[in-house]
Amino acid sequence: MSATARLALARTILRTAETRHGITTHTPQPLAPDPHYALIDAFHPLVGTHLHPGAIHRVTGAASITLALLIAASHNNARIAIIGASHLSMVAAHDLGVATHNLIIVTQPARHTPTIAAACIDSAHITILGPQAVLSPSEHRALTARLRERGHVLVTTNPHAHAPIIMKARAPTWRGPEQGRYHLTDASWYVHAATRTTEHTAVLHLAHGRFTTTPTPAARNTPPHVINHPHLTLAHSGTMGA
């Protein structure tokens, strides 16, 4: 019996068994998104409800935005590794609402970056690679294949890294002390987010520990839609797409 005939016979037997037990439809049920990759509501208009498992996310221009991506995931007990990113302050992360007890920090990976990153991809849910986490092109390709296989999320702050999901903050303004807790009292950024199929832009403002946003200048004639969150609030215009 050929392989095609065996497959047809198997399908016939399966349909017979399903009919006997009252199964008459075969509509697949969508899988619920994994809460370990959830984003707070404010990011939903920019990049969706969740980080994308198996994909690289490039975030540049603002450490606060990188940290804010971790808020919801960390409270859903996601294990998050931060490698070679000394610019990401854990005090700032705590102040933004990140559950810092779920973070694994490696500040100076040196030449061990590939080994450490591979171990984190195998054991954590999200890995952030900062500027001190240096990889050769071949090492980067190997880690990309590994994270796709594991369904892991990699966030890189390298502005030259190839990534299908990109968030770029530009034109920052801020006020606040540069020493001690490094707590910004006021800050704002233009944020552009792009995936393979969508692009969205908004202006994020931070004032006294609270994020808000306004439409970009090109879309100011459209009333903003505001999403509230204890730590982050995003407003976007209807002209930016779904």
Residues 99-151 have pLDDT tens digits of 999 999 998 898 899 999 999 999 999 999 999 999 999 999 999 999 999 99
Written as six digits, the tokens of 67 are 């940290």
pLDDT at 220: 41
Q: Is the pLDDT of residue 43 over 80?
A: yes
Q: Where are the beta strands (DSSP E) in the chain?
A: 56-60, 80-83, 103-106, 126-129, 153-156, 165-175, 186-194, 199-207, 210-214, 225-227, 234-236
Q: How sure is the predictor about 179, in pLDDT bands with cuts at 50, 70 and 90?
A: very low
pLDDT at 66: 94
Q: Is the pLDDT of residue 77 over 60?
A: yes
Which of residues 227 and 103 earns the better pLDDT score? Answer: 103
Which of residues 29 and 144 earns the better pLDDT score? Answer: 144
pLDDT at 141: 92
* Residue from 87, 148, 88 nearest 121 by CA: 148
Distance CA 115, CA 129 (A): 13
Is the Cβ–Cβ distance between 213 and 234 less than 8 Å? Answer: yes
Residue 173's beta-bridge partner residues? 188
Q: How sure is the predictor about 10, in pLDDT bands with cuts at 50, 70 and 90?
A: confident
Distances in Å between the Cα of 88 and the Cα atoms of 76, 85, 141 are: 21, 6, 25
The pTM for the full model equals: 0.73
Burial class (CB in 10 A: 0-12, 13-18, 19+), 151: middle
